[in-house]
Amino acid sequence: MARTTNTKPARSVEARSGEQAPNPVWFKPVMFGFMLIGLIWIIVFYVSGSSAPIPSLGTWNILVGFGIMFVGFLMTTRWR
């Protein structure tokens, strides 16, 4: 007597092509941290009268603050 075997395809654990894995736990705090640090950098620059955070940069401190914030905003495009 011939024995039949189960020929069902194995289930794949992989995500479907349209789905993406969720972000790691650290992603959101780092994203918001960059935005807040950039904002604080700019506020400190204005409040100190150009003598902080890095006096030798002068008004380039504004660009540094916006650059840090920009990194945080770029991270929002990857937030799921």
Residue range of the domain that includes 72: 27-48+55-76
Q: Residue 64's CB: how many other CB atoms inside 10 A?
A: 16
Instruction: Give the pLDDT confidence of 19-32 residue by residue, as tens digits.
Output: 789 999 999 999 99
Domain assignment present for residue 19? The answer is no
In a domain, 14, yes or no: no
Angle at 53 between CA 50 and CA 59, to 5 degrees: 40
Give 30-67 pLDDT, tens digit per residue: 999 999 999 999 999 999 998 899 999 999 999 999 99
d(CA 12, CA 63): 48
In a domain, 9, yes or no: no
- The three-class DSSP label of residue 78 is coil
Residue 33 lies in a domain: yes
Q: How many structural domains is the chain composed of?
A: 1
Inform me whether the pLDDT recorded for 73 exceeds 70.
yes
